[in-house]
Structure 1
Amino acid sequence: MPRVVNEAAYEARRNAILDAAERAVITKGYEQMAIADILGELKISSGAFYHYFDSKPALLKAMVERRADKVEPLILSIVHDPELKALDKLRRSFAVLDREKIEHKQLVFAFLRVWYSDENAIVRQKLYSARIKRITPWLEAIIRQGIEEGVLTTAYPDQAARAVLSLFEDIGFASAELLLGEESSPEDLPRLQRLVEGSADAVERVLGAPKGSIHVASREELTQWLFPAENLAENNV
């Protein structure tokens, strides 16, 4: 007889493994995290683990995908809201993404430390391609609405959507290089602020949006990424 799989039990065990992996990544770092750490915490066998994930990179990919899956319904509710104008949809969508990063800042930093390394280039590229396929239609729909409303002027909404996502990918690389430096200093804040402002300007130009349409993080918002709270006074930020 074919084996009956309890889907709820399967997802519960898979999520338990991902939860344990996230804790290990935050406390030890991805490179130092061992599969044995997860096995020990959950009291499961290696066979049970490999039933869900065939490698450590596959586990990393699943952790990132799960975060995206949690944000997706929030974004879609904005995209499909008939009461919202296009620029409001853009602002709210970006705000949701920013809030998700702030709420899981420790995990974001842990991911950044390995995400842009050469060793994870293949996983990163696969997920980037998946994001393009998933997010481009949503962003394109907002852009087309903005064109109809007369607030966006790009003649190529499909390519504009891809270009915006490419800009975000490049921002990730540049931000990681700055945020993960061995020692943060007050001089890094203007550099980060310029990076964010320049990126917002680039997105507005790609979309043909009015100046100031895209929210730019404040000095206070950027500071919490560069410095731990206990070091703010010391750095006079």
Structure 2
Amino acid sequence: MTRSVKAHEYAEKRNAILDVAQRYITTKGYEQMTTQDILEALQISRGAFYHYFESKQALLMALVERAGEQAEQLVLPIVSDREMSAQDKLRRVFAVLNQYKQENLDPVFAFMRVWYADENALFRQKLYQARVKRLAPWLSQIIREGVAEGVFTTPYPDQAARMIFSLLEDFGYVAVELLLAEDGVHPDTERLVQMGEATADALERVLGMKPGGLRQSWREDFLRWQDLLA
């Protein structure tokens, strides 16, 4: 068996474990998930599991890393585009991530219900830290380009990138509170649009960009959310 075939098989089996772990985190929560759950689901031995992951914590970090890689693959083509302006790049990054959620509405909502539950707090925090570590440098690059183009005026591009992630994380909590209302209660999408516009306004201020540069495109996105949720 060639080395490339072995590497492919290794990656395939490792991803199978990660897929099952992600499913259990979604249905049970990270703290409640056990390695035994995974062994039984895949019909593998404990030794086989430890061949790929030395611990449950290592499995968690591998899931975090994989999610970060997937997000990065959506962002990198935008960052590397030499023809697109910095402001358009920023809008495009937000639009691509938003479009992905809209195209996967049912699984996104199912995932949100457990993602923000207390039992997934550790995984959620680890993933947030991984996103900042992996994506903040690319966002900083876009901001630096925008400063050079004169559309952003912040003197702190690296710190601004981190602040953007912090604002988006907070908006995520607001969105969950509004969208995942009690059964029989229609989501308050009008308030969601307002909160989205307020977040866009805060982002514009952090970047020192012209007012409305983000709010208009965000409003259009959230109006589409209203149509989807109607």
- Fold equivalence (TM over 0.5): yes
Cα 1:78–1:220 change in 2 (3 A) is: closer
Residue 155 (structure 2) pairs with residue 155 (structure 1): yes
Contact kept? 1:189, 1:223, Cα under 8 Å: no
Coordinate RMSD, CA, aligned: 2.8
Q: 1:71 matched to which residue of 2?
A: 71
Is contact 1:160-1:207 (8 Å) kept? yes
The answer on 1:168 being equivalent to 2:168 is yes
Shift of 1:9: 1.8
Query: Is 1:11 matched up with 2:15?
Result: no
Distance 2:198 2:162 in 1: 18
Residue 115 of structure 2 aligns with which residue? 115
The aligned runs of 1:128-139 (5 Å cut-off) are: 128-139=128-139
Q: Which letter maps to 1:77?
A: P
| Aligned counterparts of 2:23 and 2:122: Cα–Cα separation in 1 | 24
- Unpaired runs of 5+ residues, structure 2, are none
**Corresponding residue number in structure 2 for 1:199:** 199
CA contact (8 A) 1:25 1:110 kept: no
- Cα distance in 1, alignment partners of residues 173 and 90 from structure 2: 22
Sequence identity (%): 52
Does residue 220 (structure 1) correspond to residue 221 (structure 2)? The answer is no
Question: Contact 1:193–1:219 at 8 Å: present in 2 too?
Answer: yes
User: In structure 1, how many angstroms separate the alpha carbons of the residues matched to 2:14 and 2:114?
Assistant: 22
Taking a change above 3 Å as real, the CA distance of residues 25 and 116 of structure 1, as seen in their structure-2 partners, is: closer
Question: For 1:86 and 1:121, how far apart are their aligned partners in 2?
Answer: 34
Q: What's the CA shift for 1:66?
A: 2.1
Residues 65-121 of structure 1 deviation map (CA, whole Å, 9 limit, x = unaligned): 423312312311211211110011101111121123234444433443333333333
1:190 aligns to what?
190
Q: Distance between the aligned counterparts of 1:30 and 1:152, measured in 2?
A: 41
User: Could you tell me the TM-score, scaled by structure 2's length?
Assistant: 0.80
The alpha-carbon deviation at position 29 of structure 1 amounts to 5.0
Report the counterpart of residue 145 of structure 1 in structure 2: 145
CA contact (8 A) 1:143 1:157 kept: yes
What count of residue pairs does the alignment treat as equivalent?
220
Structure 1 distance, partners of 2:58, 2:187, is 38
The one-letter code of the counterpart of 1:142 is: I
Task: Say which SS state the counterpart of residue 183 (structure 1) adopts.
Answer: coil
> CA 1:128–1:14 in structure 2 vs 1: closer, same or farther (change >3 Å)?
same
From the superposition, tell whether residues 64 and 187 of structure 1 become closer, same or farther in structure 2 (CA, over 3 Å): same
222 and 14 in structure 1: CA distance in 2 versus 1, 3 angstrom threshold: farther
**Contact 2:64-2:130 at 8 Å conserved across structures:** no
In structure 2, C-alpha distance between the alignment counterparts of 1:61 and 1:222, rounded to whole Å: 35
* Distance in structure 2 (CA, Å) of the matches to 1:149 and 1:211: 16
Instruction: Tell me if structure 2 keeps the 8 A contact 1:78–1:93.
Output: yes
Is the contact between residue 25 and residue 107 of structure 1 (CA under 8 Å) also seen in structure 2? no
